[in-house]
Amino acid sequence: GAVVSQHPSRVICKSGTSVKIECRSLDFQATTMFWYRQFPKQSLMLMATSNEGSKATYEQGVEKDKFLINHASLTLSTLTVTSAHPEDSSFYICSARDVGNTIYFGEGSWLTVV
């Protein structure tokens, strides 16, 4: 089946620094990718929709300047958490939609800000 890969799977960064998470569709082209955040034992919260070649669409309450999303190609979207703080520590998951409208998820990335 279709595979979506995220990297890194785990990252620890210092407060005030920025960290980038990559999301790749390995065997299909994805014009649309989605970024979610998940708190422990909770459901997924959609942060933004990333469209190749255009600006991301952010959900209400998500800071655009803090969570920078770039969808530079049909197989790659990146999420950059800028000036990270401990409250940004979370599990971030991306997903990608194929031409058949099925959405596949990556393995997730654990971010810890110390």
CB of 18 to other proteins, least distance (A): 23
C-alpha to C-alpha distance for 61 and 83, rounded to whole angstroms? 17
> What is the pattern of x (binds other proteins, CB under 8 A) and - over residues 33-52?
-x------xxxx-x--x---
Cβ-based nearer residue to other proteins, 14 or 41: 41
C-alpha to C-alpha distance for 87 and 6, rounded to whole angstroms? 21
Site for other proteins in 58-87 (CB under 8 A): none
Amino acid at 36: Y
Q: In the set 24, 50, 104, 111, which binds other proteins (CB under 8 A)?
A: 104
Task: Give the 3-state secondary structure of residue 86.
Answer: helix
> C-alpha distances in angstroms, 26 versus 45, 95, 105, 106, 114?
24, 12, 12, 10, 32
For residue 48, give both structure tokens: 């933004």
* Residue 106 engages other proteins in binding (rule: CB under 8 A): yes
CB of 52 to other proteins, least distance (A): 14
Per CB under 8 A, residues contacting other proteins are 1, 4, 6, 32, 34, 41-44, 46, 49, 57, 91, 93, 95, 97, 101-108, 110
